[in-house]
Amino acid sequence: MDKLSLRELPVAGKNVLMRVDFNVPLDNDLTIQDPTRILAALPSIKYVLEQGGALILMSHLGRPRGVVYTDLSLKPCAHALSALLSKKVIMAPDTCGEEVEDLKEKLKPGEVLLLENLRFHRGEENPDETLSFSKSLAKNADFYVNEAFACSHRHHASITEVPKLFPGKAAGGFLLEKEVTFLSKALTNPDRPFYAIIGGAKISTKMGEIHALLEKVDALLIGGGMAYTFLKARGKAIGKSLYEADFLGQAIEILEKASQRKIPLLLPLDTLGTKVLSEDAKIEIFDTEKGIADDYQGLDIGPKTIKYFCEFIQNAKTVLWNGPMGVYEFTPFANGTKHLAESLKGLKATTIVGGGDSIAALNELDLASSMTHVSTGGGATLEFIEYGTLPGIEALSLKESVNSKQK
Ligand code: AMP
């Protein structure tokens, strides 16, 4: 990464303002259901403290849209972090204001202050309207660190505006660096053959990603709900399967582009269909060439496709996977996703998985640790694949800015 790294900041005795992603799922008792996001930021947090720096952490939680909701307070995260670090985490009463500025000023090396939910203020999501919000976040801090890759596609104060107030002193955290390193390598200089497997519900949300990947991959494998719009584009009957009529033209364009570039674009050979989606659904297997019956909906790739896809990727050196192959939340339609994940586990290749649902599926199958890299970003990963960077990464200082100052 050509951006400044946390490792290059002389943080001893300084206040480090770090944007983390503590947007954790909470249950009705405000208990954290899954602490993965807090755990993901721990290496950067511990590093600053071990180096003798003090930390000011900031994050959003949920979507309060400028209103204070007590059930969206970051207090449960302060408790969880305190237990993980075995030290006190000071919970700020707000994100800005005199009292918070005072707390920041009095921070001692090794201490941690967590600011309240950034989105309690309108200024976070509307940075152009309220520049004073960014300035107040930046006050009494010496360095800025972005350790929230999953939020870095947002044009929000803590992501794109605050780092600009730290010229030559805004760096990427360890997790952000890892995300950028893996994704950039796959997109710019992958070990080949490089295959992308795209699934999930809708073609509309992944159009940009598919277009970008067609420029880079050696083959594209498409499953999930979006496959039916492509099958329709090839003139096949798809019954009641998910179909986005507005994107038929783009699906045709992608099929043509792949064929012109001689890039194999693999679509399902067969599909598991049912009339009613349920845990005990009556399943019919349809050959996609012959078409799906009018009153059936395709909800997973079928056994022939599983074999076809899994055999095809055996010689891969890099695989990027985004989106489940079927409605994996229902046991009868989880097989495609499950077999594909198991097949990826067995490859001697760099395997990169991105997108919330593919990760949830991997976690459910207990296979996340078998992948080379599981990206923490949903929308951020998709945008990174499309554009090769993100606004939050662009806002960081260049490496040279520190080196040239030290000369
Ligand atoms: P995405 O967020 O776009 O990756 O989509 C994930 C969702 O796609 C999951 O909730 C799956 O249940 C859904 N999905 C996968 N395959 C299908 C399908 N054949 N029909 C409808 N939804 C699907």
Based on the fold, state whether residues 324 and 398 are members of the same structural domain. Answer: no
Contact assessment for residue 266 and residue 307, using Cβ atoms and an 8 Å cutoff? no
Q: Whose CA is nearest to atom 20 of ligand 1?
A: 225
Q: How far is the CA of 74 from the centre of ligand 1 (A)?
A: 31
CATH of the domain at 157: 3.40.50.1260
**Token pair for 116:** 């309240």
Cβ-based burial of 159 (10 A; exposed 0-12, middle 13-18, buried ≥19): buried
- 240 and 97 in a common domain: no
Helix ranges (H only) for 51-171 are 75-85, 98-105, 122-125, 131-138
In this structure, the residue with its CA closest to atom 18 of ligand 1 is 225
The number of distinct structural domains making up the chain is 2
- Quick check: CB of 357 below 6 Å from ligand 1? yes
How much is the pLDDT for 363? Answer: 84
Residue 361 in domain: no
Regarding whether 163 and 198 lie in a shared domain, the answer is no
pTM reported for the whole predicted model: 0.89
* 277 in a structural domain: yes
Query: Which atom of ligand 1 is found nearest the CA of 328?
Result: 12
Residue with tokens 């420029």: 215
Is residue 142 lining ligand 1, measured as CB closer than 6 Å? Answer: no
**Residue 367 in domain:** no
According to the model, what pLDDT value does residue 394 have? 98
pLDDT at 402: 55
**Residues 172, 304 within the same domain:** no
DSSP string, 11-43: -TTSEEEEEE-----B-TT--BS--HHHHHHHH
Strands 194-198 and 265-266: unpaired
Specify the pLDDT at position 194: 97
List the catalytic residues. Answer: 37, 202, 356, 379
Quick check: is 76 in a domain? yes
How many angstroms is it from 201 CA to the middle of ligand 1?
3
Query: Which pLDDT value is given to residue 252?
Result: 96
Question: Is 318 contained in some domain?
Answer: yes
Query: Whose alpha carbon is nearest atom 17 of ligand 1?
Result: 225
Residue 165, domain extent = 6-179+390-406
Testing ligand 1's pocket by substitution, the residue of 242, 283, 286 carrying the most ligand atoms inside 8 A of its CB is 242
In a shared domain, residues 257 and 175: no
Do 147 and 199 sit in the same domain of this protein? no
One domain for residues 316 and 213: yes
Q: Is 79 helix (H, G, I), strand (E, B) or coil?
A: helix
The answer to the question of residue 359 being in a domain is: no
- Mark which of 298, 321, 348 sits at the end of a domain: 348
Same-domain pairing of 205 and 340: yes
Q: Do 213 and 172 sit in the same domain of this protein?
A: no
Residue 365 lies in a domain: no
Distance (Å) from CA 322 to ligand 1 centroid: 11
The pLDDT assigned to 356 comes to: 67
Query: For the chain, what is the mean pLDDT?
Result: 94
**Residue 63 within any structural domain of the chain:** yes
Q: Which ligand 1 atom is at minimum distance from the Cα of 298?
A: 19
Please check whether residues 216 and 168 belong to one and the same domain: no
Pick the last residue of a domain from 298, 333, 348: 348
Pair (208, 339) in one structural domain: yes
pLDDT, residue 317, reads: 97
Residue 83 and residue 229 in one domain? no
| CB 144, CB 170: distance < 8 Å | yes
Query: Is 299 near ligand 1, meaning CB less than 6 Å away?
Result: yes
CB 273 near ligand 1, within 6 Å: no
Answer whether 53 contacts ligand 1 (Cβ < 6 A): no
Please give the Cα distance from 70 to 244 (Å, whole number): 40
Give me the residues of the chain with pLDDT under 70, please: 356, 401-407
